[in-house]
Amino acid sequence: MPILLDADPAKAAPLVAVLPAGTQVVDSADRLFTWLTHRSDEYAVVLGPSLSVPEAMTIADRMRTVLPTASVILVRDSVDTDVLTRAMHAGVREVVSAGDLPQVTASLQRAHALWAALRGTASAPAKLGRVITIFSPKGGVGKTTMSVNLGIALMRGGENRVCVVDLDLAFGDIAITLQLFPTHSIEHAIGGESSMDYAFVEELMTPHESGLMVLAAPSQPDARERVSGALVTRLLHTLQSHFDYVVLDTAPAFDEQTLTALDETDDCIIVATLDVPTLKNVKVALETLDVLGVAEGHRHLLLNRADEQVGIGADKVEGILGMGVTVQVATSLDIAKATNAGRPLMLSSPSHPSSKALKSLADKLMGYETAPPAAVPPQKGRTPRLPRPEPIPAPQPATPATTDKRDEGPKRFRISRR
């Protein structure tokens, strides 16, 4: 987006009329440079006619080092050779007469083309973050709880940039689980499919005190219908260009948005609990993931409420589901309390056995192998049955993270082709 600097609203008004919607207008150099410290994707700075020539030259000169990819466009009530010479020396790209508004538009178009060309050639191939989807065909098994705690674990104390997207679009509770009160949500991205960039998505996100960024679900369930698969895809691609890990909490269903997200998924965490109906549905879901080719070799089974007293152990689960248990999280009052307090266990009690279990999962996803903590305490008088996970190919963060998987060919299921 361009940014216009002019302290005189009357002088700024005709320019605003021809600038693209969403253009930021500021009234001082200080505000301009403050704004630019948060945004690196502004492609033009328009210096309005009410600025004095020396002030405009100082700003243009400073822009050379602050944001060299942005063109400075100087608008003057009258243009003479003296202004042109001084502007050229200060690094102004174009000087336009205030009365020639079509020329202002044309200058902006040239600025945008230059910016796009500079970005295309100067930047290294974009590093793409990994999409980690937490999925279960059953509700209430702990998907949201695991999403937020895993998201925090993946941050590794600020080493990684992580966001959580609430794709449980009708009944998402990520925000409430983190005690956040978002002003924007995915709903506000509707219609922005074709022109979405990170600056736009960033405005819709809510930061958590931990540093985790949250893209909340709509506040009203009916908005779900208007979130298209194309929008989900575009959102994820945009987030991947900025975050190291994009964690997706999902609805307990194979709806269009979930299918689209699964199609973009690098690692899929399947959450199961030790009850027969859930295991039956997880089995069916795994078969569906097989058919769709979702995250093959990168699926991880998370057994929540993994308490042996209920008569089914991890070994039985592995037999039923035909895959190893990656991590177990025991039933814990502390987890339920943490949800009610709006402060994830990973923050309030990082050395809790459940936090350690999720940290071990996060380590595995990041490519660090750690010894899995004993999540389920041995029962008195019984021989503990330890899970015997199938070997899971270790994720290779370096290569996949730097490879644009959109170029990998037609391996992935595309809902749009159905």
From 218, 252, 344, 372, residue interacting with ligand ATP (rule: CB under 6 A):
252
> What is the nearest approach in angstroms of ligand ATP to the Cβ of residue 250?
8
C-alpha to C-alpha distance for 130 and 366, rounded to whole angstroms = 9
Q: Which is nearer to ligand ATP, 283 or 412 (CB)?
A: 283
Q: Which two tokens stand for residue 16?
A: 């605003």
Contact between 389 and 325 under an 8 Å Cβ cutoff? The reply is: yes
H/E stretch holding 139 reads: none
Helix axes 81-90, 53-66, angle to 10 degrees: 20
C-alpha to C-alpha distance for 71 and 108, rounded to whole angstroms = 8
Q: How far is CA 76 from the centre of its chain?
A: 41
Task: Single out the residue of 412, 97, 399, 58 nearest to residue 236, CA to CA.
Answer: 412
Q: Which is nearer to ligand ATP, 238 or 304 (CB)?
A: 304
**Which span (114-122, 137-145, 148-156, 321-329) binds Mg ion, by CB under 5 A?**
137-145
Contact between 235 and 186 under an 8 Å Cβ cutoff? The reply is: yes
Q: Which is nearer to ligand ATP, 42 or 267 (CB)?
A: 267
From 331, 363, 374, 405, residue interacting with ligand ATP (rule: CB under 6 A):
331
> What is the nearest approach in angstroms of ligand ATP to the Cβ of residue 143?
4
Q: Which is nearer to Mg ion, 24 or 281 (CB)?
A: 281
Binds 240: which of Mg ion, ligand ATP, none (CB < 5-8 Å by kind): none
Q: How far is CA 344 from the centre of its chain?
A: 19
Q: Contact between 305 and ligand ATP (CB under 6 A)?
A: yes
Q: Which two tokens stand for residue 400?
A: 């996949």
Q: How many residues bind ligand ATP (CB under 6 A)?
A: 18
Q: Contact between 329 and ligand ATP (CB under 6 A)?
A: yes
Q: Contact between 260 and ligand ATP (CB under 6 A)?
A: no
Q: Contact between 168 and ligand ATP (CB under 6 A)?
A: yes
Q: Which is nearer to ligand ATP, 323 or 329 (CB)?
A: 329
Q: Contact between 293 and ligand ATP (CB under 6 A)?
A: no
Which residues are registered as beta bridge partners of 167? Answer: 250
Q: Which is nearer to ligand ATP, 103 or 281 (CB)?
A: 281
Site for Mg ion in 142-181 (CB under 5 A): 143-144
Q: How far is CA 16 from CA 9, 11, 25, 195, 226, in A?
A: 10, 9, 8, 20, 31
Task: Single out the residue of 388, 385, 387, 389 nearest to residue 309, CA to CA.
Answer: 385
Q: Which is nearer to Mg ion, 36 or 285 (CB)?
A: 285
Q: How far is CA 410 from the centre of its chain?
A: 24
C-alpha to C-alpha distance for 262 and 132, rounded to whole angstroms = 9
Contact between 41 and 238 under an 8 Å Cβ cutoff? The reply is: no
**What count of residues does the chain have?**
418
> What is the nearest approach in angstroms of Mg ion to the Cβ of residue 135?
11
Q: How many residues bind Mg ion (CB under 5 A)?
A: 2
Q: Contact between 20 and ligand ATP (CB under 6 A)?
A: no
C-alpha to C-alpha distance for 259 and 254, rounded to whole angstroms = 6
Site string for Mg ion, 84-123 (x = CB under 5 A): ----------------------------------------
Site for ligand ATP in 104-163 (CB under 6 A): 139-145
Q: Which residues bind Mg ion (CB under 5 A)?
A: 143-144
Binding interface with ligand ATP (CB under 6 A): 139-145, 168, 173, 252, 304-305, 329, 331-332, 335-336, 339
